Structure formats: C-alpha cells, structure tokens
Amino acid sequence: MAFFHIVVCGGLVPDPLQTLEPVSGPAGWSLKNESLLPSILDPWAANALYEADALAKANPGSKVWLASAAPKVKLQQVLMALAQKAPFELLPVDAPAGGFTDAVECALALAGAVQSIEGLDRSRLLLFGGWESASRGAGATLSVLGEKLGLTEQFQGVDKLTVDGDGSLEILERVEGGKHQVSVLSSPPAVLGWATGGRAEPPNNPQIGMANMRALMPSLQKARAAKLPGDGLTLKSVSLPRQKRNTQVVKDMPVEQIAVEIVEWIKKKP
C-alpha cells in the first residue's frame, strides 16, 4: 500500500460576507480595517485540505501538513475552527496575508517551511493547494513553490485524484472548453492545484480538534517570521469591480413584442 507525505498550502482571506474596500497607506495597498476583518482559510485551499485528508485516510502511513503564511494572531483564530475538520501538522510562517503580497516572496517563505520538515520523504511528496484564490487568484504561488522545491510535475485545475493499484496517480484536470484531461503519473512527487474537488466540508469533530491543538499551538508559537516587503512591486491603482446594469422599464408592451426583443437579444450574443 502506497503512502504519501502531503503538504497543503493555504493562505487566510477575509470572510466573504464582509465588505472589502482597498485603501492606500504608507505601507502600500491594504484593505480598509483589515486588522478587524474576520478571516477564514482560503476556500480553494480548504478543498485541497479535505482532499488531502481523504487521501491520507485511504492510504495508511500517510501524513498531512498545512503550510500557511499569515499573521500569527489571525492564524490562531482560524485554527480554532479548522482544527476540528481534519488532522494535520502545522507549518506556520508569520507574515502579511491578503491580496497585495508578492506571490514569489510568499512562495520562497513557504519553501523554507516545507524544507524544514523532519523526515519528509520527497519521493512520496504531494504538494496540494488551491488552483484559484479568494484573495487575488494570481495562480502563481503554488507553481513557484513547486519549482523551488524541484517539483516539475504540476497539475492545475484538478477535480479528482485516484490512486491505482500499482501506486500510480490518475489525475482529472480541467482544460479549456469545459472539458477534462486525464493524466497518469507513475509516482510522486507532484504539485496539484485543486479546483472544487469532490469533498464536502467535514463536520466538526471535537476529538480531532483537541488532538490537533495540542501540537498546533506550540508550532504556532515557533512560527518563523517573514516580512514579504514586495520590493519592486508597484500597484498604481486598486478598485473594486464596478457593477453595470442596463435596465429599461417599459409599460404595457405586448407579449409578442417582448418575445421579439428577447429573440433579437439572443441573436446578438456571441
């Protein structure tokens, strides 16, 4: 039976129910009242974590780590809830989080954390993360991190991973046109950027939470610091997407005319 060492990379993002407003300050761009906004684990990274947990359970001897570059205070708040979802070891990096950090700098900081894992079997390493991100969706951090660690087999937009009897990996990967590409990898290591996956969010398990927190809190206290200064990165302007609606209110229009207008509108669509 094959085993895997799975490292899931995930950042923190503001709770999506909050109103996000970009502001420029002495330290560069940030979100208004960012320090007060409640945070969650990036939803795409959460999908990757649940997939890692399922894979580890199906393959005895496997281990899961969560590598995250985020402020320690916010990471501690998120861990209180996340620790009840799945067992994992924490690889924290005390660093700024959000949509205005440089992907390369973040990847280099995470690479140091992954390389510090004692007993890591690189021949069984699977690097998981989100294909997209709720903070910026740059799609670069995971790829750069994989290259830094020497993982050249990379798959982005993964929806399903199947381990065959001979230990090979069958990967269902999204491609253009709403289609999927099936790839077969003889063995790890590899990078998998997950899309939606197929796992529902696990229910809270207080027993898993208590077991996790006994190890997570000491790891969090020892988090190495990384400033991520963003040297050479300049954002001239940042704004929220604007909503655009073209609404026409017409009274007493015959049904036949409404139907004609709808048909003409459909014909104009590419």
Query: How does DSSP classify residue 143?
Result: H
Task: Summarize pLDDT for 231-242 with one digit per residue, the tens.
Answer: 666 777 777 777
Q: Cis check for the bond before 189: say yes or no (omega within 30 of 0).
A: yes
pLDDT value of position 159: 92
More confident residue, 95 or 238: 95
Widest distance between CA atoms in the chain: 75
* Range of lowest pLDDT (95-99, 128-132, 163-167, 199-203): 95-99
Quickly state the pLDDT bin for 51 (edges 50, 70, 90).
very high
How, if at all, do strands 12-14 and 39-41 pair?
antiparallel
| 183 strand-pairing partners | 171
CA distance 4 to 2: 7
More confident residue, 95 or 136: 95
Instruction: Identify the architecture of domain 5-225 in CATH.
Output: 3-Layer(aba) Sandwich (3.40)
3-state DSSP call for residue 35? Answer: helix
φ/ψ of 258, rounded to 5, equals: -60, -45
Q: What is the pTM of this model?
A: 0.80
The CA radius of gyration of the chain, in Å to the nearest whole number, is 22
The domain ranges of the chain are: 5-225
Q: What is the mean pLDDT of residues 93-98?
A: 81
Query: How does DSSP classify residue 264?
Result: H
Quickly state the pLDDT bin for 47 (edges 50, 70, 90).
very high
CA distance 166 to 80: 38
Nearest to 211 by CA among 84, 65, 63: 84
Let me know how long the chain is.
270
CA distance 185 to 192: 12
Is residue 30 predicted with pLDDT exceeding 80? no
Quickly state the pLDDT bin for 151 (edges 50, 70, 90).
very high
Percentage of the chain surpassing pLDDT 90?
37
pLDDT value of position 125: 95
Burial 87-97 (b: 16+ CB within 10 A, else e): bbebbbbbbbb
The alpha-helical segments, DSSP class H, found in the chain are 43-58, 72-82, 103-115, 141-148, 206-221, 255-268
For residues 93 and 67, the answer to whether their CB atoms sit within 8 Å is yes
Q: What is the mean pLDDT of residues 87-99?
A: 85
Q: Which helix (H) or strand (E) holds 67?
A: strand 63-70
Is residue 254 predicted with pLDDT exceeding 70? yes
More confident residue, 162 or 23: 162
Is residue 194 predicted with pLDDT exceeding 90? yes
Is residue 1 predicted with pLDDT exceeding 70? no
Q: What is the mean pLDDT of residues 44-64?
A: 93
Quickly state the pLDDT bin for 268 (edges 50, 70, 90).
confident
Is residue 33 predicted with pLDDT exceeding 80? no
Contacts of 217 (CB under 8 A, 6+ apart): 76
